Amino acid sequence: MRIDILSLFPEYFQGPFAVSILKRAQEQGLIEINLIDIRRFAEDKHKRVDDRPYGGGPGMLMMPGPCVKAIRSVKSKNSRVVYLTPQGKTLTAGKCEELSEHTHLILLCGHYEGIDQRVIDLEVDEEISIGSYVLTNGCLPAIVLTDAITRFVPGVLGHKEAASKDSFQEEGLLEAPQYTRPEEFEKIAVPEVLLGGHHKKIADWRRKKSEEKTRQVTGQQPLPN
Ligand code: 4GX
């Protein structure tokens, strides 16, 4: 799987992609990440990529020319073009898994007040939001999406933690609390049941805690089995 990330700040991504699982996935050739500077596709001698919105309003928009040229410089028949925007469909684990099945993703990061609608009309396959709030630009959303997708690429995670094969997650439940050593920390003991090694009792306890947590946080009634 190849991921091309188009932005005005390619240097933004150096940190997150150079450590831990994303670093290893690239070293193992499981994913290839390319960072492309949209300014390279500016069409005037001042390398201008933004302009004022028709009809008025605050701030600047990204001009269509450089964005479309940047996309077309990497696009082929197998490409899926995603624009990160608060106006998109909210990202879910299911969408991450679906996107991980593509061989080539192009992630377009918006800056300023967004991009000219004609870029979306001409070149974008889908608009995705990572949540209902507005960040200063689309680079962090592209990092979030890349990270969440990479977990679903075969070989990236070990068998043990294979993405979303967790039965609770599949039922839309939140995880039960977890503990490691020591057995007591600042007067708080690890729940007795987890120390006993009784697998059925542990599974029952986790199920109960998981349902409680899901009810508290989402107000959602757990599905009956
Ligand atoms: N989930 N951003 C897009 C530019 C912008 C500004 C206003 C449209 C309207 C975001 C998010 C997000 C920051 C990406 C602003 N586009 N992207 N950018 N939340 O906040 O995906």
For 30-52, the pLDDT digits (tens) are: 999 999 999 999 999 999 999 99
Q: Is residue 7 within 6 Å of ligand 1 at its C-beta?
A: no
CA–CA–CA angle 140, 77, 119 (5° rounding):
50
Q: What share of the chain has pLDDT > 90, as a percent?
A: 90
Measure 213 CA to ligand 1 centroid, in angstroms.
31
Q: Which two tokens stand for residue 6?
A: 């188009």
In the sheet with 79-90, reading across from the earlier edge strand, the strands are 32-37, 2-7, 104-109, 79-90, 126-129
Query: Tell me: the pLDDT tens digits for 178-225?
Result: 999 999 999 999 999 999 999 999 999 999 999 999 999 988 776 665
Rg (CA), the chain: 22
Per-residue confidence (pLDDT) for residue 220, from 0 to 100: 73
In three-state secondary structure terms, 62 is strand
Catalytic annotation present for 166? yes
Query: Tell me: the pLDDT tens digits for 126-179?
Result: 999 999 999 999 999 999 999 999 999 999 998 777 776 567 777 889 999 999
Measure 83 CA to ligand 1 centroid, in angstroms.
9
Per-residue confidence (pLDDT) for residue 169, from 0 to 100: 79
Query: Tell me: the pLDDT tens digits for 52-72?
Result: 999 999 999 999 999 999 999
Structural element, H or E, at residue 223: none
Largest CA distance in the chain: 71
The β-bridge relationship of strands 104-109 and 32-37 is: unpaired
- The phi, psi pair for 217, rounded to 5°, reads -80, -40
Catalytic annotation present for 181? no
> pTM for this one?
0.95
- The phi, psi pair for 121, rounded to 5°, reads -60, -40
